[in-house]
Every structure is written in C-alpha cells, then in structure tokens.
Structure 1
Amino acid sequence: MFEAVLTICALSGAPCREALLPGFEAEACGAALPQGARCVLLGPALEVSEIAPGVFVHRGQVAEADAQNAGDIANLGFVLGQRSVAVIDSGGSAQVGEALWRAIRAQTDLPVSHVILTHVHPDHVLGATVFDGALVVGRAGLARALADRGASYLQSAARLMGAAGLGTALPEVTAEVADSRVIDLGGRRLLLRAWPLAHSGTDLTVLDEASGTFFAGDLVFDRHIPALDGSLTGWQAVQAELATLEVSRLVPGHGGPVLDWPEGGFAQAEYLRVLAEETRAAIDAGERIGAAAGHVAAGQAPLWQLFDAFNRRNVTAAFSELEWD
C-alpha cells in the first residue's frame, strides 16, 4: 500500500516532518497528487489489538506528552461496521492521528464516518483533523471548551513536542450529545451517553452494542493516576453508577487497555475516596491549600504512575471544591 505525504515545516523553516495526506492511499503510485506531495510506501501505523470482533484498541503510553511520544499517551479505538468506521478518540497530535489512520487502513477500506471524542483534553482530541470528512462528535459543551482552551493546548503541543507536533490543529466539533445518541455504522450500533460534571465537564462514553465493549474515556484510569479537571464529588457519583453497568469489557482512557468490570475500577474508586476524605480532614484542621497538597493522598503514591505530576493538582482542585461544602 502506498500513500501521499507532504513535508511541513515551522515558519522559521525548521524543524520539519513528513505529514500524511489521507485519501490518497493506493495499491501503487500513479494517482494525481496535490502540488508538493509525493508517493511513498505506507508509513508506520499505531499498534492495535482486536479486543472483540471488529473492535480495535491502541494503548497509549503512561507518560506526559513529549517529542519522543508525539502525544501518544491516551488509549484510542475504532469500531468497524458494515458501512463505515467510527474512531473513539484521536490522539494528542496530528502525527498520532495519522498513525491511527494507517492502523485503520490496515484493517479496512471503509470510510471513517465518525470521530467520537470522549472529552476535551488534548491527548484525546488533537489528532481528529486527520479524519477529514468525518462527523466529529462530542458531549454538549465540547466545542465551547475547545474554544476556551484550544490556544493553550496548541501552544503546549508546540512547546512539548517540537517537530512531532507540526500540523496539529483543533478539531471542529460538528455534532454534540446532550443526553444520548445512537450511531449506526451498518449492522452495528454505538450507544453514546453524556455524563454530568465528573473527570471533566465534557465526558462522553461509547458502548459497542454488538460486543458489549464500553469505552469509558477518562472517567476510568488504570495505572496512570486519575487526573481531576471537573468535580471530585461528581466523579465519585459517576463512578458509583458506572460500577453498576453490565458490560463485557471496559476500555479506560489510560492504562489497561482492557479491564474486567467493575473490578477494574476499584483502585480508582479508592483513590478518589482517599482524596476526598483526606482533603476534608485538612480543611477541617484549618490547613492552607499549599500545605494540604504536600501530603493529602500521599499513601497512594506507590499505586500509581505519574503520581508526582498530578496528585498536587488533584488536591488543589479537590480543596477548592470541598472547602465550600
């Protein structure tokens, strides 16, 4: 399989990278290409696992975004129907989105009709522009959240990833889900559900009805410490409801990439419980937020990767929320 690529560079003329032009894949070169593009053998694809018939998942690195991983730090998925394909989260850069495109093309020639974004965070959304022509679906409020945060996300991507982040842009959300929605891929239905304020204000989950596979986005973390960007008490309430779901398997936003359920959520539930209880105790003791951030939930450190990068932020967010309870 061959593809078209185009060299893109920073405004200064360096650095540069080869960027995929989706839609020009062919068994051999020869098709007319846009000016400046060239035909090459199909480039590297993301490694994916078929966790159920027609359901594929890529496990992102448990790490922070940098030039080496190009923002490949979140779990991504796609589901094959008889008529089209749905992508579930798109990665943290255009480069990751391109590699995901190649992974899909290794499985099927069907068009990608939907890109479903489980929430606003950049490691899940910044590869979406690669899937030109697909409907970009998110929870109600996602477009506004991207407008508010997008400039900061792109600046961070440029700073952290350098050339690996070139070509990365914000997606345009073309459909929002206020409550629930069904997507039919042809003989295969995906059930989308919007959640109240929890991990973030834009959480959306996807259930593949045929296989019972549930894509939780960042409502569920595994190995990677949970990251709070919404409401701690809201997240605890949502987690309690998630625990009642009867699903065959669950794909978390990080870690896994496949968890038994509800057992796979026990560690997160315990972290959120400890975070809430110890934060409340610090507030009751009259501590300042900075002092609390230095010790709350410290006993959980051996259980989670990236603890030092996220726990203080979590305590700060929890303290700000709970001091007004």
Structure 2
Amino acid sequence: MASIMSHPFSHLRRAGHLFVIAIAVAAIPPACPAFAQAALSVTEVAPGVYVYRGEHAEANPENDGGIANIGFVVGTRSVAIIDTGGSPVIGTALLSAIREVTDRPIGYVVNTHFHPDHILGNSAFSAEAPVFIGHANLPAALRARQESYLARAAETLGQDVSEAWFVLPKHLVSTRETIDLGDRVLILEAHPPAHTDSDLTVLDEATGTLFAGDLVFLERIPAVDGSVLGWLAVLDRLAEIPARKVVPGHGPVAAAWPDALADERRYLKVIVTETRRILAAGGTLQAATATVGLSEKGRWLLFDDYNARNVTAAYTELEWE
C-alpha cells in the first residue's frame, strides 16, 4: 500500500476485507484537451463506461497495435483507464478520446495483464500522474519480457521504440480491492494463473460492466500463456460475478452473462480432453499440435495463428499430471 499512500493526491482507507483507494482531485486543474493524435473511436457501452474495440488482427504498422479492447470509466472526481493499447500512439489516441468526454483527472490506469497489446500505451498517461495498478505478479512478468516485447514492437509496428514504453504498475493487487472514482466504485480482483499469471478483472458496480481482460475472448481464438486448467477454474469464478455485461479482451461487448463464456469454455475443454488422450496413448507433442482442437477450426478467428501454440502450452502442462 505504500505506493498509493505516497501518491500526492491519494489516501487509503480500509473497508472490511477490501481496500478502498480514493483520490482527492478537487485542486487539480483540468488537463489540456488539445492533442495532435486523433481520438480513438469509443462507444459508451453503459452510462459513463467507454470502450474502444480492437481490431481482430495481429499488431502491424497500419493499426499501431490497436488490437485489444481498452476503455475508461468516468466518476464524479476522476477517471480510471482499463488497459492502454499496444503502443504510445494508441495510448495518446485514447487520451484524446477521454478529453472529448471529460476534463476530469485521470486517477488510475489499470493493466489487466502483461501482454503488449494491453500495456504498451501506458507511457502516454505518465504526464497525467495516475496511479498505475496491476496484478501482484505483473512487474516481474513485464521485466522478464521487456527486451523481447520491445524488439517485437519495433519489428511489427515499424516504430522507434524505447524503454520509456514500459511503465510498470506501482500499486499491486494480490486479492481484491476497490477504487472510488467519486460516486463510482470499481472492484479489482486478482486471479490465479489462467490466461497469464497476472490476470486482473475490473467490475464497475454502478453499471455491472465487467472488464475481463483476456480472461474472456469472443470471436478471436483464446491464447493460453498461463495455465489451461487454471483458466477453466477461473471461468467458473468469473461466472459467479454479478455482471450485466462483459467487455472481453478481444471481441464484442456482450450482454449475455455468464453465457458469453460458453464458447471459450468449450474450446479450452476440447484442448484439455484431446491433449490428455494423446498423452495417454504416448503421443508426441508433434502429434498433438497436428490434431488437437481441429474440431474448433472455423469457429474462431486467427485459429491457425494460435491453436498449435495453445496445444503446446496444454501438452507441457498436462504431461506432468
């Protein structure tokens, strides 16, 4: 909690087993609304909740890494951003979009996990002096991947990259906390290894909007970078959250909750079941990647880009059962 306490505009109070982070912003002047970067096209999916829907593609120079769903929530005192996109260009465009909606200070930037399409826009918000928040495992995961992520960004985006693109969260969530934006409370929940080992969800209590990060994929194939068994367990936990709609990490905002989890759960179960069958028969990883999950082909975008990787991750995990 020290990092929150040291923030010049913040104080911390305890409410039961939750921590409520409140920011005092009355004395902060409005940020300048003029930016050279054109604003992202955001949609108000619920009152005060705005989402930019990422492109179903891999990061490239044409999309500037804007392939993930990112958004923000506006309270009476401040704004919270949930993920910042795949480059400072996208982050700056998100900042422009926010300033078209409100001049309230940006109090928080929440990173839902460590993948670059969700966090490489962080530096666009540094001058706003928000509290950067992430899962307790996030800093170590980002440090371990910094070199490879920046090299990959330079290659795929065709942009000059630097270490300044990496802004690590200072306030870390290990269980469950809340942040108060002013008459608007967001519940932050850290999850055990699933999509990654640093998955964090954000629930806006006022509207029942759940920002699920990449724990939920719709239309685009899920990507396993943590634990396939853990992910299935976390989906059961997510289904218990009293959300009225979900903002997935990729794909359309869905109002059918928890029914929106059905396709992802089916796919992950297929991967587990078929991989176990290969392992029981003494099959090789090569045999698994060539056959497992093919019944799902045609149901998911970017299937050929990710299915074999998912099977590899599942095989590596399940062979030790």
User: Could you say whether these structures have the same fold, taking a TM-score greater than 0.5 normalized by the shorter chain as the test?
Assistant: yes
Task: Give the distance between the partners of 1:186 and 1:241, measured in 2 at CA.
Answer: 28
Task: Give the distance between the partners of 1:167 and 1:254, measured in 2 at CA.
Answer: 26
- The answer to whether the aligner puts 1:217 opposite 2:213 as a matched pair is yes
1:192-203 matched pairs, under 5 angstroms: 192-203=188-199
Match of 2:44 among 33, 43, 50: 50
Matched residue, 1:269: 265
Task: Give the distance between the partners of 1:78 and 1:303, measured in 2 at CA.
Answer: 30
Task: Give the distance between the partners of 1:145 and 1:68, measured in 2 at CA.
Answer: 28
Question: TM-score by structure 2 length?
Answer: 0.87
Matched residue, 1:4: none
Matched residue, 2:153: 157
Deviation at 1:244, TM superposition (A): 2.4
Task: Give the distance between the partners of 1:240 and 1:177, measured in 2 at CA.
Answer: 21
Identify if the C-alpha distance between structure 1 residues 258 and 313 changes in structure 2 by more than 3 Å, giving closer, same or farther. Answer: same
Maintained 8 Å contact 1:225/1:305: yes
Greater shift in the superposed pair: 101-110 or 241-250: 241-250
Maintained 8 Å contact 1:126/1:168: no
The letter for the 2-side match of 1:123 is D
1:269-310 superposed Cα distances (whole Å, 9 cap, x missing partner): 000010000000111111110121011001101000000110
Deviation at 1:141, TM superposition (A): 1.2
Identify if the C-alpha distance between structure 1 residues 164 and 24 changes in structure 2 by more than 3 Å, giving closer, same or farther. Answer: farther
Matched residue, 1:80: 74
Matched residue, 2:250: 254
SS at match of 1:131: helix
SS at match of 1:101: helix
Question: TM-score by structure 1 length?
Answer: 0.86
Deviation at 1:260, TM superposition (A): 1.7
The letter for the 2-side match of 1:136 is F
The letter for the 1-side match of 2:230 is G
Task: Give the distance between the partners of 1:52 and 1:164, measured in 2 at CA.
Answer: 36
Matched residue, 2:167: 171
Give the RMSD, CA atoms, in angstroms.
1.6
Deviation at 1:42, TM superposition (A): 4.7
Task: Give the distance between the partners of 1:42 and 1:71, measured in 2 at CA.
Answer: 18
Matched residue, 1:95: 89
SS at match of 2:159: helix
- The answer to whether the aligner puts 1:109 opposite 2:83 as a matched pair is no
Matched residue, 2:55: 61
1:134-191 superposed Cα distances (whole Å, 9 cap, x missing partner): 1110000111111111111111000100138679611121100010111011111101
Deviation at 1:43, TM superposition (A): 3.4
The letter for the 2-side match of 1:201 is D
Deviation at 1:24, TM superposition (A): 4.6
Matched residue, 1:127: 121
Greater shift in the superposed pair: 112-121 or 239-248: 239-248
Deviation at 1:259, TM superposition (A): 4.1
Deviation at 1:25, TM superposition (A): 3.6
Identify if the C-alpha distance between structure 1 residues 164 and 80 changes in structure 2 by more than 3 Å, giving closer, same or farther. Answer: farther
Identify if the C-alpha distance between structure 1 residues 165 and 254 changes in structure 2 by more than 3 Å, giving closer, same or farther. Answer: farther
1:59-86 superposed Cα distances (whole Å, 9 cap, x missing partner): 0001111111111010001000011100
1:181-225 superposed Cα distances (whole Å, 9 cap, x missing partner): 110111111010000111100000000011111110011100110
SS at match of 2:158: helix
- The answer to whether the aligner puts 1:315 opposite 2:311 as a matched pair is yes
Task: Give the distance between the partners of 1:141 and 1:245, measured in 2 at CA.
Answer: 22
Unpaired runs of at least 5, structure 1: 1-21, 27-40
1:32-79 superposed Cα distances (whole Å, 9 cap, x missing partner): xxxxxxxxx753111111011100011000111111111101000100
Maintained 8 Å contact 1:158/1:166: no
- The answer to whether the aligner puts 1:229 opposite 2:225 as a matched pair is yes
Match of 1:285 among 263, 281, 296: 281
How many pairs does the alignment contain?
290
Maintained 8 Å contact 1:85/1:112: yes
Maintained 8 Å contact 1:232/1:276: yes
SS at match of 1:207: strand
Matched residue, 1:19: none
Deviation at 1:243, TM superposition (A): 1.7
Unpaired runs of at least 5, structure 2: 1-29
Task: Give the distance between the partners of 1:120 and 1:235, measured in 2 at CA.
Answer: 16
